[in-house]
Amino acid sequence: YFEVRFAPQLHAHGGMDMSEVLRAVNRGLSRATRRWNRRPEIVSQQEPEYTYAITVCALRYFDEKMSPYYADFIRVHPYSPRTQLYSMGSLELAQAAVAIRDHYGVPITGFDLAGRERGYPAEDHRPAYEFAHKNFMKKTVHAGEAYGPESIFQAITDLHADRIGHGYYLLSPKMVKAPSIVDKEGYVRRLAEYIADRRITVEVCLTSNLQTNPHLKDLGQHAFKDMRAMRLSTTLCTDNRLVSRTSVTREVTLAIEHFGLSSRELRQIIIYGFKRSFYPGSYTQKRSYVRRIIDFYTEVEKAHMPPGGFWGVKEDDKDI
């Protein structure tokens, strides 16, 4: 299973509108999925079938140079302040995503907000997320990547986020900026407890954070360790594959090497990623699919896991 996440606004132009962009991507994904699922291992049900969903990304900031679509969008709204334009752009994307999903059957299941955090708050995009929320779209938000816990607070309170992209600074009281927040450690603790209790999943991106965060010199210092200690719902993501030159397999390997994950911990992280996915089918279909994934994971683990786990430690010795 994989979720393709991108901003169709960056690909739309005079000869191809948002609908055509999303339908073209969907055709390619559908064709590749059908071909892959013809493999004997899948046809014989030795492996689970592959499927996919699409998440569209709104942008906190954009300008005329980013795409012909945005150049036209800005040109026809010459009297609107930029902050209002950013909000309008996100709402237009949300409306387009719902319409294209409903009319063409494109499996657009998620809505995301990406781009610069500092100076471009999530709350500006509340109308778009309200629309997505009321039209049963799942929601994720890039937050806590380059700004502190308040960015994550906005994502879950103003934007109804089901998942948080990065969340690197979630547990960083020193990154709390608002003068009105006097007890910074208490604020962070309550925020983290709420996220843990509501099972809001943090999409951890180790390689990307190491590349973009000047304060992170060693992956061993990454907040992922503390997130795991607090029993937060976490999963491992690439953020991107091209610029960061990584893959899910590499991210999993890094997590094992730098955080001493036991096989039970790794299983929990991987399976929870499937459970918190924006799966395109019904709830019962998703449960059935996740069950097949769990059973297949168990088979692979039995076939390939070294005795005693990764580090020769009995799994019962590590409480997760």
Q: Where are the alpha helices (DSSP H) in the chain?
A: 18-36, 40-43, 68-75, 82-104, 126-134, 149-157, 184-197, 206-212, 224-229, 248-259, 263-275, 283-304
Give the containing element (helix H, strand E) for 308: none
High-pLDDT (> 90) share of the chain, %: 92
Sheet holding 2-6, edge to edge: 2-6, 52-59, 108-114, 138-143, 163-166, 201-204, 234-236
Name the pLDDT band for 215 (thresholds 50, 70, 90): confident
Chain-centroid distance of CA 72 in Å reads 29
166-320 has the same fold as 1-136: yes
Cα separations in angstroms, 203 against 46, 64, 109, 179, 228: 29, 30, 17, 29, 13
Q: Provide the pLDDT for residue 310.
A: 66
Q: What is the pLDDT of residue 314?
A: 47
Residue extents of the structural domains in the chain? 1-136, 166-320
DSSP state of 305: P
Candidate list 145, 150, 251, 265, residue with the active-site label: 145
Would the pLDDT of 137 be above 60?
Answer: yes
Q: For residue 319, is pLDDT > 50?
A: no
Q: In the predicted model, is pLDDT for residue 320 greater than 60?
A: no
Active site residue 265: no
**Residue for token pair 């395109």:** 280
CATH of 1-136, one of 3.10.129.10, 3.40.50.150, 3.20.20.140, 3.30.413.10: 3.20.20.140
What pLDDT does 311 receive?
57
Q: What does the DSSP assignment read for 216-259?
A: ---GGGSTHHHHHHTT--EEE--S-STTTT--HHHHHHHHHHHH
278-308 pLDDT, tens digit each: 999 999 999 999 999 999 999 999 998 887 6
Q: Does residue 316 surpass a pLDDT of 90?
A: no
Strand partners, 6: 56
- Examine the pLDDT at 244 and tell me if it is beyond 90: yes
CATH of 166-320, one of 1.10.260.40, 3.30.300.30, 3.20.20.140, 2.130.10.10: 3.20.20.140
Please, which residues bridge with residue 204 across strands?
Answer: 236
Using an 8 Å Cβ cutoff, are 199 and 156 in contact?
A: no
Are the C-beta atoms of 155 and 126 separated by less than 8 Å? no
Model pLDDT, residue 306: 80
pTM recorded for the entire structure: 0.93
Query: Distance between CA atoms of 142 and 203, rounded to whole angstroms?
Result: 9
216-220, long-range: CB within 8 Å, 24+ apart, which pairs?
216/168, 219/254, 219/258, 220/258, 220/259
CA–CA distance, 212 with 218 (Å, rounded to integer): 12
CA distance linking residue 226 with residue 207, whole number of Å? 17
Cα–Cα dist 113/262, whole Å: 33
pLDDT tens for 97-136 read: 999 999 999 999 999 999 999 999 999 999 999 999 999 9
| Mean pLDDT taken over the chain | 95
Q: Which residues contact 274 (CB under 8 A, 6 or more apart)?
A: 1, 289, 290, 293
